[in-house]
Amino acid sequence: MRKRHIAVLTCALILFGAGQAVGSEDSDSPTVIPSATPAEIKLTSDSKLVLVKTITGEITPKSVRSSKFGIVSAHNMMYRHSITIYNSKTFALIKTIPDKVQLSSFGLKGYSGTYQGAPVEGAFSPDEKYLYVTNYAMYGKGFNREGHDTCSPASNFDKSYLYRINLDKYVIDAVYQVGVVPKVVEVTPDNKYVLVTNWCSYDLKVISVATQKVVKTIKIGAYPRGITVSSDAKTAYVAQMGGSSIHRINLTNLSTSTIYIGSNPRALVLSPDNKTLYATLNRSGKVVAFDLVRGRQVASVTTGKAARSLAISTDGSAIFVVNFVSGTVSKVATAGLKVMQTVWACNHPIGVTFDESTNRTWVACYHGQIKVFDNK
């Protein structure tokens, strides 16, 4: 399985260029693209991010997510087939949740035996009851066409599943068929919808929490990825990484419109007042700020090579960006969009989250670590 993913990535790098490929941005092999060394890192200001913990173990985290109520999850792809849950204050491992399920036990016909997923990203429900986790692909009887990073709806790869994890018992208690190679998941703040972008299906699935069913499939275009939702739950924004647009979803009637943002938008966050949208542009290594009131881009800054995930502080004063090829994490002031600090994180930092209960920044390192930084 691992050899297949490395072969797929190698092909994508040939097609698009190392470190530049749209279709290889989420490669499941963390060993192909060379990274910078710590000696190459130059701080742009006095240090404010301070490393306080390196978490290791049986992990290969693609992403990390703070719950805002005391726990952080890591999603470990097909290399570990697990989700790991940590105490955000003590860093202690609370639970390792295998991604094994019996699909038939959830009333799904045509499946027999045990299946495995490949956890990519997660999102916590606002009522603190659940963690939703996307699976890059499913493995088991009947799944024969595993998706990969360079694809389209015509590739005819297998659809995958979203898991729901009960946070009282730390068990998978529901599954939902979504699209091909699902990536980002978000739960709307009113707990009405679960939104999932599907990399190879080129669409967004809208799942009703009330009915537990997909109620809408919205076409996005090539390689949809990042999602962010306004705090009033009225609007969702979806990044189309295979283009230059952000798709704005009206959550009242599920109608759509588009915003031009710049080439290869990957990750998105909103300011606390919902007036400014921040996006990473993967190919150029930039972060851009888009004023939603004035309807135009107002600032941009280069943070490093292959800017990937980003997170925002609770007060909205800073955003944190991981730069995959540079091996760094940048702290950027939202006022003027200025880089305050860039520090070495690890080889291939891929995910980041801000934990408001501790004022710490957690960084997922694809090779098998989580780095935790204090903000001082």
Tens digit of each residue's pLDDT (9 = 90 or more) over 15-57: 333 344 454 555 443 333 333 444 444 433 444 899 999 999 9
For the segment 119-130, the average pLDDT, to the nearest whole number, is 97
**What pLDDT, on a 0 to 100 scale, did the predictor assign at position 21?**
47
What's the gap between Cα 85 and its chain centre?
Answer: 16
pLDDT at 22: 52
Burial 113-139 (b: 16+ CB within 10 A, else e): eebbbbbbbbbbbeeeebbbbbbbbbb
Coil vs helix vs strand at 363 = strand
pTM, full prediction? 0.91
Q: How far apart are CA 106 and CA 175, in angstroms?
A: 7
Residue 31 has phi, psi (to 5 degrees) of -115, 5
Q: Distance between CA 58 and CA 43 in Å, rounded?
A: 32
- In this model, does residue 86 exceed pLDDT 70? yes
How far apart (Å, rounded) are the C-alpha atoms in residues 237 and 231? Answer: 12
Question: Interior CA angle at 48 toward 30 and 370, to 5°?
Answer: 30
Domains of the chain, earliest start first: 2-375 (2.130.10.10)
pLDDT on residue 48: 87
pLDDT for the residue 189: 98
Structure tokens at 272: 């606390």
Q: Provide CB contacts within 8 A for 221, sequence distance 6+.
A: 202, 240, 242, 243, 245, 247
Report how far residue 141's alpha carbon sits from residue 155's, in angstroms, rounded to the nearest whole number. Answer: 20
| C-alpha distances out from residue 21 to 35, 241, 282, 318, 323, Å | 16, 10, 9, 28, 15
- What are 284-327's pLDDT values in tens digits? 999 999 999 999 999 999 999 999 999 999 999 999 999 999 99
pLDDT given at position 119: 98
Q: How confident is the model at residue 376 (pLDDT cuts 50, 70, 90)?
A: confident
